[in-house]
Amino acid sequence: MDIMVSLPLQAFIRDLRKGSSTSIRDCVQGLEDLGYWGVNVVDHILQSDTDAAEHHAEADWNWRFPEYASTMGYLAAITQRLRIGVRVLVVPYRKPIQVAHAFATIDSLSGGRAVVGVGPGYDVEEFRRLSVPRNKRGKLTDEYLDVMQALWAADGPIDFEGETIQFKGAQLQVGPVQRPGPPLWIGGNSQAALARAVRVGDAWTPMLYGYTFRSPGDGRHVLREELPDMMDWANKQRAAAGLPALECIPGSGVPWNITDRPAHPGRRPEEIQQFSAIGTVDEILEEYQLFYQAGCRRFSIRLAGADTDDFLRQADIFANQIMPFISK
């Protein structure tokens, strides 16, 4: 079972204050020792009231997001096997040629372990402060992804003529090890996100968690019962275009809190439509088994933890008491 774990941001902010990377190193190397498939960073550039509010009920809500490329390079250097990903990069925030080169470099230095999760973004204030037109984020995302994929796959200089970007004779200094490029996971819960995944993605990675805080950037909430029909539609489109089947790799939202006492007594399976992010081993396992039955074969998760030892304790529980039994 392939599980990608989000970088433990609680550990990062503590290290940031101490000027150390010890907690992150220990957490990530511990994940590798436990047999996890990958680790991913999250992408935001500026602090936001929206982000704080979305995590207001969490003990470590005051998260900080490290710069994606330098962090991925560090993670690649301290691991041997883990896939190194971002989930998800806000594509419109940066010029695509530089982004393509950054990922190609990370993929090369890691021996072909990069995973590129992308999305158009949502945070109204972050778009405004970065002077990026939020109302054009879909078009920017589509064209920038076309540029990135074209540069990764190219064996020589290429030209590109789009509405938002044009260039002639461009070739990256360093190409990716994975050809025609690193796996592209398309984030977002909307039909537009799924259509984008159909067109250019290797996987669709929606967030299947019901945030209770509603921000101006919130999209729709996808339910478990919707997934089979959505993926059936997507793969009919893929087959008609001569493309391989699209994979659904859902994210579980906020960090899991593995408890000793039941968090959902009396809950019926049909009531489990999104991940709850809290529960006993049996309750969490039931959620993942139901999503597996809905067609999901890989997952992206976040784990809680008051410190490195607590994080790795929960990672050990998930790795040994949940992960091996999801497909049973």
Query: What is the per-residue pLDDT across 289-326, written as a single tens digit (0 to 9) for each?
Result: 999 999 999 999 998 877 888 889 999 999 999 999 99
pLDDT of residue 52: 47
| Percent of the chain residues past pLDDT 70, beyond the cut | 89
Burial class of 197 by CB neighbour count within 10 A (0 to 12, 13 to 18, 19+): buried
Could you tell me which of 98, 118, 102 has the C-alpha nearest to residue 43? 118
Beta bridge partners of 90: 119
pLDDT of residue 215: 45
Q: CA-CA distances (angstroms) from residue 266 to 69, 72, 209, 224, 271?
A: 45, 42, 20, 19, 10
**Mean local confidence (pLDDT), 71-76:** 96
Q: How far apart are CA 322 and CA 305, in angstroms?
A: 17
Q: How confident is the model at residue 49 (pLDDT cuts 50, 70, 90)?
A: low
For the chain, give the mean pLDDT.
90
pLDDT digits (tens, 9 = 90+) for 215-268: 444 456 889 999 999 999 999 999 999 999 999 999 988 788 899 999 999 999
pLDDT at 1 over 60: yes
pLDDT digits (tens, 9 = 90+) for 162-174: 999 999 999 999 9
pLDDT at 210 over 70: no
Q: How confident is the model at residue 16 (pLDDT cuts 50, 70, 90)?
A: low
| DSSP for 139-203, written as a single string | HHHHHHHHHHHHHHH-SS-EEEE-SS-EEEEE--SS--SSSS-S-EEEE-SSHHHHHHHHHH-SE
| Number of domains composing the chain | 1
Dihedral (CA of 160, 42, 185, 83) sign: positive
Dihedral (CA of 76, 86, 93, 98) sign: positive
pLDDT of residue 213: 43
pLDDT of residue 17: 67
Print the domain residue range for 287: 2-325
CATH (domain of 67): 3.20.20.30
pTM: predicted TM-score of the whole model, two decimal places: 0.93
